[in-house]
Amino acid sequence: MSEHRAAARHQTLRTGIVEFNNGTGSLISVPCTIRDVSGTGARLQLNSSLWVAEQFTLVFSSGLRKDCRVAWRKGRLIGSAFAEGYASPDEQAVMMTADEQSRHRLGIGARVKATRETRGYTEVQLAERIGVTPAFLALAENGEADIPLYQLMHIADLLMVGLDGLVAGPPPEDVDAA
């Protein structure tokens, strides 16, 4: 499964606009429903997905514009991948509500904790190795604090897992999907 398809999706059901060049130099703007988003892309619903260009710009209601490419099509749905890869934390904040961001943080923290425990590290040991306090790591594992990307990369290396698995992997069994 590709990193884009594995990314944790957060249901949004917001309106947006798909903009693309129709090949004759005209810019086409089509309304869509943004069904869900992740740090790597979005799932869009349109009246028809067949005539949307392979490269397009997704315009969120906030005005955020993300260049995308079509990852897959199925009926009225399009799976889009952000052209630049991962969206920045600021962009994700615009794309997701505070509740969606909280669920995303909780998922990351739970995956870090589950992987840490599987690899036999204590909170204190992992905190020492990544240069944070055990209290911060406990907050992060409970979804109450954001773990900076550079620290997530270090954690992934120490625990011998892919970064995408920590950020967007399947949620551990004991995480409340509320």
Tell which residue, 83, 63, 65, has the closest CA to residue 19: 65
pLDDT given for residue 6 in this prediction = 43
Instruction: Centre a 10 Å sphere on the Cβ of residue 109 and count the other Cβ atoms it contains.
Output: 23
Q: What pairs with residue 27 in β-bridges?
A: 21
Dist. CA 109–CA 142, nearest whole Å: 6
According to DSSP, the β-strands at 77-82 and 41-45 are antiparallel
pLDDT given for residue 101 in this prediction = 73
- Give the type of residue at 51: W
Measured CA angle at 95 (ends 21, 168), to 5 deg: 105
**pLDDT tens-digit profile, the chain (178 residues):** 344 444 445 455 678 899 998 778 888 888 998 888 877 888 899 887 667 889 999 998 888 899 999 988 888 888 898 988 788 778 877 777 777 778 778 888 999 999 999 999 999 999 999 999 999 999 999 999 888 878 888 999 999 998 778 876 776 664 444 3
How does DSSP classify residue 82? E
Whole-model pTM: value is 0.55
